């Protein structure tokens, strides 16, 4: 588990042993493999990129090639303990609907995303007047897969507006945990644990 991305590490540490998990946008299955090997989790994955799906299947994982925006409807309600969406929310066409689906399929949902209101992004936009290109958001505006940028406060507003419950929140800066206070300004990355 040592090589997991920091947000995945947080999720991995907070998934209970033997749980059933759906990892939406599971990439090459790094988190799923860690959960399976470390916590005897029954993990399934959904991933858009066929190369990533192949890599995950080659690791012995159960992964389906599909799109979070369209294919989550295929999953039965309450079929897993946790639905996980890591660094994928901002790439979906309808993030609020994807979140609804996650909370329908899972009893709880882990959601991690890069915080667009981090001070470095704010400073970049303010001083340069151009769409920020940062370590976590390295693409240019025209070729970025991140079509729905979101800040931590935006996300909290959505949680309140939809009447969801937040069971946990974690914030990261430079890959290290950072405090809740001023998270919207100081955190590069957020992980939320939600419930309907």
Angle (nearest 5°) at CA 152 between 148 and 153: 105
Cα separation of 191 and 88, whole Å? 12
Helix (H, G, I), strand (E, B) or coil at 141: coil
Pick 62 or 134: Cβ nearer other proteins? 62
- Decide if 63 contacts 57 (C-beta within 8 A): yes
Q: Taking the complex as a whole, how short is the minimal distance between the CB of residue 64 and other proteins, in angstroms? A: 4
Pick 67 or 100: Cβ nearer other proteins? 67
Residue 75 C-alpha from the chain's centroid: 18
Pick 105 or 152: Cβ nearer other proteins? 105
Q: Taking the complex as a whole, how short is the minimal distance between the CB of residue 82 and other proteins, in angstroms? A: 16
105, exposed or middle or buried, with CB in 10 Å at 0-12, 13-18, 19+? buried
Q: Taking the complex as a whole, how short is the minimal distance between the CB of residue 150 and other proteins, in angstroms? A: 28
Pick 15 or 22: Cβ nearer other proteins? 22
Cα separation of 36 and 147, whole Å? 32
Pick 44 or 189: Cβ nearer other proteins? 44
Size of the chain, expressed as the number of residues it contains: 196
Q: Taking the complex as a whole, how short is the minimal distance between the CB of residue 53 and other proteins, in angstroms? A: 5
- Decide if 74 contacts 104 (C-beta within 8 A): no
Q: Taking the complex as a whole, how short is the minimal distance between the CB of residue 26 and other proteins, in angstroms? A: 11
| Footprint on this chain of other proteins (rule: CB under 8 A) | 44, 50, 53-54, 56-66, 74-76, 79
């Amino acid at each position: 588990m040592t090589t997991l991305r920091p947000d995945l590490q947080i999720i991995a540490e907070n998934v209970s042993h033997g749980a059933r998990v759906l990892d939406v946008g599971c990439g090459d299955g790094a988190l799923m493999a860690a959960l399976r090997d470390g916590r005897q989790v029954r993990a399934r994955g959904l991933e858009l990129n066929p190369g990533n799906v192949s890599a995950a299947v080659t690791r012995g994982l159960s992964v389906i090639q599909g799109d979070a925006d369209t294919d989550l409807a295929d999953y039965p309600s309450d079929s897993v303990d946790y639905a996980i969406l890591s660094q994928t929310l901002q790439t979906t066409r309808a993030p609020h609907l994807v979140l609804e689906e996650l909370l329908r399929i899972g009893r709880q949902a882990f959601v991690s995303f890069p915080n667009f209101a981090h001070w470095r992004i704010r400073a970049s936009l303010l001083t340069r007047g151009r769409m920020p290109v940062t370590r976590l958001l390295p693409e240019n505006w025209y070729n970025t897969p991140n079509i729905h940028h979101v800040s931590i406060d935006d996300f909290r507003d959505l949680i309140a507006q939809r009447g969801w419950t937040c069971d946990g929140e974690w914030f990261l800066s430079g890959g290290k945990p950072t405090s809740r206070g001023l998270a919207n300004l100081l955190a590069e990355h957020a992980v939320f644990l939600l419930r309907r």
